[in-house]
Amino acid sequence: MERTLIIIKPDAVQRQLIGRIITRFEEKGLQIIASRFMHITRDLAAQHYAVHKGKPFYDSLLNYITSGPVLVLVLQAPGVIAMARKLMGKTFGNEAEPGTIRGDFGASRGFNLIHGSDSPEAAQYEIGLYFNDNELVNYHLANEHWLYGDN
């Protein structure tokens, strides 16, 4: 099983899209194994987005992610990173395809509703920023066989 970190960002929270976004992941068959509703501190945001330090958008990115509450999730499934990123769509809502989270709910270049890890290494690092191992709840879905087959 692969894991990914998802952050439902302040604009999605303020627009009351949490349920609709989670529904997309669950309907796809992605398993939620952790969640936390929180305010991200500037220090935590700096750690999370350290790879972007020095880029022109870095400060506005930190201001945005710390501007209001977020819902942080860990999703699990075979190939979850690629599936979650396809469900999210291109980074900016004004470029994302209809049928994706950003394509259906986003129109801004500055606010993009959601974050998802882009690699297994990033997922491991990001999950560790928000959750301890004992906060990840491992369990089997009753329909796992029908979702993932015998792989």
Return d(Cα 102, Cα 47) in angstroms, integer.
25
| pLDDT score recorded for residue 110 | 82
Q: How many degrees, rounded to 5, is the angle at CA 123 between CA 26 and CA 138?
A: 55
The band of 108, judged by pLDDT with boundaries at 50, 70 and 90, is confident
pLDDT in tens, 18-44: 999 999 999 999 999 999 999 999 999
Per the residue annotation, which of 48, 115, 140, 145 is the catalytic one? 115
Q: b vs e for 59-70, b when ≥16 Cβ sit within 10 Å of the residue's Cβ?
A: eebbebbbeeeb
Architecture of the 2-135 domain: 2-Layer Sandwich (3.30)
115 is catalytic: yes
Q: What is the pLDDT of residue 3?
A: 98
What is the residue extent of each domain of the chain?
Answer: 2-135
More confident: 150 or 99: 99
Distance in angstroms between the alpha carbons of the first and the last residue of the chain: 10
Amino acid at 27: E
The answer, as to whether pTM is greater than 0.85, is yes
